[in-house]
Amino acid sequence: MPQAIALVDRECRVLRVNREFVRIFGYSQQEVAGSTISTLIVPPEFRDEAEYFAALRARGETVSAETVRMRKDGRRFDVSLLEGPLSIPMATVSGYIICREITDRVQAEETQPEKLRQRLEYELQQQRDRLQLLLDLNNRVASLLELRQVFQTISSELRRIFNCEFAGLALPEGSGKELRQHMIDFPSGKGHFKEGTLFPIEGSSAGLAFSSAKPVVLNSFSDVRTNLNSEGYKVFARMILEEGTQSGCFLPLRSEGRVLGVLQLISRRERAFAEQDVEFLDQVANQIAMSLKNAMEYEEVTATRNHLVEQNLYLEGELRVEHNFGEIVGNSPRLKAVLDSVRIVAPADSSVLIQGETGTGKELIARAIHELSPRKGQPFVKLNCAAIPSGLLESELFGHEKGAFTGAIIRKVGRFELAHKGTLFLDEIGDIPVELQPKLLRVLQEQEFERLGSTRTQRVDVRLLSATNADIAQMMAEKKFRSDLYYRLNVFPISLPPLRERCDDIPLLVHNFVNKYSRRMGKRIESVSRETMDALCRYAWPGNIRELQNLIERAVLLSSGPALRVPLAELVTDSDPVRDGSALEQAERELILKALHESKWIVGGLQGAAARLGLKRTGLLYKMQKLGISRPLK
């Protein structure tokens, strides 16, 4: 820097000076270290003034003055002085002192015309503004962790000092071939420069600054308008023509040997950026690069922490929800074939489409695939696509930013982010709207997406398992489901048999559910009658395992002794597409007659037949009338 700079502690002792300080004042670094600044360079007649300046700095105020200071050999000279506090956490530095020799200017004021004095004052004010900008930047780099806050606080100053209309920040995209317009400060703009705009690195001015790691100055955009060999220049030329801009300066943001982004300044005047301006702006860019690096590290830590918090909240919610079927139970050939398929596909990362009727245990099979896969220790996240309104499904899958739509008062992490490194299970995949299917296909193919209201691309590592009870082939024929998405989901299909096709497993499932619910309710149920089990095995179970589970839970509630009392009368449906209705009616008739004989034909009351069957009195009377059951004459 062309100014003498000293960093001091709270007692105004010198901690460090720059080379210009050594040159101007004549002291070496070793001579000034630890010395009090007032006794070092302030003449005796100005020490009261220096103490006053130090008191202002201690109160957090910046001092700007023209005064007199003293060299090592005792010579006095005129200086422009700037003193102020520095707020750097965990550091001993508490203030700065900047001196610029103005002896020539003071003499010129006495001997030169007014015009020269005004020009010198303008240059001095310009230097002060630039120094203040650097100091403000330094404080913000130390105190602000969000890049947008830093940019917003300095962009207006950059535009004012360099008399330009546009300040922007461009950052590289994940592909490494494009830059994205991350931030813009363009109050007088017509709206053609927009945040989120993508432009190629190759063939653009900002891209050249990024790839070369050197500032790029365009004194006149007329060259750009005629150089339309690349798509990048075509996009840029169209915007500058519509906005009426004439020149620009593009500065790489360098940190630790790599370029993090590009600072862009654009003016409606030609040759708005002189060589000395570019040198100073390069220093500004270095400060911004420090802030960008801090912000990126802070964002990464915050994102990791928030992801863990969101994931923990989701998993805690999952622990509060009982899984539908506890564990996979059965040894029928159809079930064994399904489990063999699970063992084959689990170690791979292939997409699996699980098909089967409602209640056959599709989620349970998906969990089994996850538990047998290398992702076992990572989250298993599920979403029932049919349970979410279509307008909110995109937000549930991909998340949204605050303010993305009416009611989005906070940022929301979607299920894909929650499932990062793990498995996402989408149940009822056939209910995903057609307009959302391309975005889902993109995630499956590219493993990337954007939250609603965001232009930032999120990358994830997720294995997708899906399930449906719909006829996807028919939906594709009706243009309700994309064929390319179906083929991507259906890499490894698994078809679950309905419960009526695995009757051998019904006794095992019954005993499993009885044990589960009797322990939970504190009951001791030791037996299930042969007649009851036969009736359960004969029933068609249109609701599959879920229907059986609910029936057994209700039966355990109704049972007061060691034998399970199942309300079998509820199992008869008006139309049964699979089983012989007459056989079911006969079984139901026998159960009702048995209960009536045991209760001595008393229908109501605690010991009546209705209570034994788990029915209401009116319900049993309706069944008796329907089946033609009446009390025999004595």
Residue 315 within any structural domain of the chain: no
* Side-chain half-sphere CA neighbours of 633 within 13 A: 0
Structure confidence at residue 305 as a pLDDT band (50, 70, 90): low
- Tell me, yes or no, whether 463 and 431 share the same domain: yes
- The mean pLDDT of 248-263, rounded to a whole number, is 88
CA distance 150 to 157: 12
Task: Looking at 162-221, list the stretches that DSSP marks H as alpha helix, in order from N- to C-terminal side.
Answer: 205-212
CATH of the domain at 115: 3.30.450.20
CA distance 345 to 373: 9
CA distance 467 to 430: 8
Q: Residue 156 carries which side chain, given as an amino acid letter?
A: S
Q: Helix or strand or coil: residue 371?
A: helix
- Look at the chain and report how many structural domains it folds into: 4
CA distance 133 to 140: 10
pLDDT of the residue at 72: 92
**Domain end call among 86, 111, 134:** 134
CA distance 595 to 614: 11
pLDDT of the residue at 316: 44
pLDDT of the residue at 14: 92
- The answer to whether the CB of 221 falls within 8 A of the CB of 129 is no
Sign, Cα dihedral of 573, 577, 579, 582: positive
Rounded to 5 degrees, φ, ψ at 287 are -65, -45
- Tell me, yes or no, whether 169 and 186 share the same domain: yes
pLDDT of the residue at 327: 62
Strand order in the sheet with 463-468: 380-384, 423-427, 463-468, 352-355, 492-495
pLDDT of the residue at 325: 33
pLDDT 10s digits, 45-75: 888 888 888 888 888 888 888 899 999 999 9
- Tell me, yes or no, whether 518 and 406 share the same domain: no
pLDDT of the residue at 346: 92
> Pick the residue with more confidence: 232 or 235?
235
Residue 309 within any structural domain of the chain: no
Q: Which of 168-182, 339-353, 391-405, 619-633 has the lowest mean pLDDT?
A: 619-633
In this predicted structure, the answer to whether residue 270 has a pLDDT above a threshold of 60 is yes
Q: Helix or strand or coil: residue 433?
A: coil
Structure confidence at residue 247 as a pLDDT band (50, 70, 90): confident
The model carries a pTM of: 0.47
> Pick the residue with more confidence: 563 or 627?
563
Please list, in sequence order, all residues whose beta carbon lies within 8 angstroms of the beta carbon of residue 88, skipping any fewer than 6 positions away.
139, 142
Element containing residue 596 per DSSP (H, E): helix 581-598
pLDDT 10s digits, 12-40: 899 999 989 999 999 998 899 889 988 89
Two tokens, residue 201? 């690195």
List Cα–Cα distances, 467 to 44, 362, 473, 484, in angstroms.
Answer: 87, 7, 14, 17
CATH of the domain at 154: 3.30.450.40
> Pick the residue with more confidence: 616 or 401?
401
Residue 302 within any structural domain of the chain: no
Identify the domain containing residue 130 by its residue range.
4-134
Q: In 111-123, which positions are buried (b, 16+ CB within 10 angstroms) versus exposed (e)?
A: eeeeeebeebeee
pLDDT of the residue at 462: 94
pLDDT 10s digits, 571-594: 765 444 444 445 566 777 888 888
pLDDT 10s digits, 160-196: 777 789 999 898 886 678 888 888 989 888 888 888 8
- The mean pLDDT of 328-352, rounded to a whole number, is 88
Q: Helix or strand or coil: residue 527?
A: strand
Structure confidence at residue 140 as a pLDDT band (50, 70, 90): low
- Tell me, yes or no, whether 455 and 547 share the same domain: no
- Tell me, yes or no, whether 205 and 70 share the same domain: no
| 3-state DSSP percent of the chain in helix, strand and coil, to 5 | 50, 20, 35
CA distance 326 to 284: 62
Q: Helix or strand or coil: residue 245?
A: coil
- Tell me, yes or no, whether 404 and 338 share the same domain: yes
Residue 314 within any structural domain of the chain: no
pLDDT of the residue at 7: 92
- Tell me, yes or no, whether 171 and 196 share the same domain: yes
Residue 239 within any structural domain of the chain: yes
Structure confidence at residue 375 as a pLDDT band (50, 70, 90): very high
CA distance 472 to 466: 12
pLDDT of the residue at 321: 38
CA distance 463 to 488: 12
Two tokens, residue 82? 């700037």
Two tokens, residue 425? 């299970």
- Tell me, yes or no, whether 519 and 466 share the same domain: no
Partners of 185 in the β-ladder: 167
Please tell me what DSSP assigns to residue 35. Answer: -
- Tell me, yes or no, whether 122 and 158 share the same domain: no
CATH of the domain at 579: 1.10.8.60
Class of residue 23 by CB neighbours under 10 A (exposed 0-12, middle 13-18, buried 19+): exposed
CA distance 56 to 60: 7
CA 251 to chain centre: 30
- Tell me, yes or no, whether 616 and 545 share the same domain: yes
Region of 202 on the Ramachandran plot (φ > 0 left; ψ -120 to 50 alpha; else beta): beta
Structure confidence at residue 605 as a pLDDT band (50, 70, 90): confident
Residue 231 within any structural domain of the chain: yes
- The answer to whether the CB of 205 falls within 8 A of the CB of 219 is no
**Domain end call among 75, 108, 134:** 134
Please list, in sequence order, all residues whose beta carbon lies within 8 angstroms of the beta carbon of residue 146, skipping any fewer than 6 positions away.
295, 298
pLDDT of the residue at 317: 44
- Tell me, yes or no, whether 270 and 288 share the same domain: yes
pLDDT 10s digits, 207-220: 889 989 999 888 88
Residue 320 within any structural domain of the chain: no
Please list, in sequence order, all residues whose beta carbon lies within 8 angstroms of the beta carbon of residue 63, skipping any fewer than 6 positions away.
53, 56, 57, 81, 82, 83, 84
Two tokens, residue 275? 């060589």
Q: What percent of the chain is predicted at pLDDT more than 70? A: 82
The neighbour count for residue 97, using CB atoms within 10 Å, is 25
Please list, in sequence order, all residues whose beta carbon lies within 8 angstroms of the beta carbon of residue 251, skipping any fewer than 6 positions away.
209, 215, 262, 263, 264, 265, 278, 281, 282, 284, 285
**Domain end call among 497, 527, 557:** 497
CATH of the domain at 419: 3.40.50.300
List Cα–Cα distances, 214 to 206, 211, 565, in angstroms.
Answer: 10, 8, 84
> Pick the residue with more confidence: 228 or 520?
520
Structure confidence at residue 491 as a pLDDT band (50, 70, 90): very high
Give the number of residues written for the chain: 634
Residue 167 within any structural domain of the chain: yes
- Tell me, yes or no, whether 418 and 532 share the same domain: no
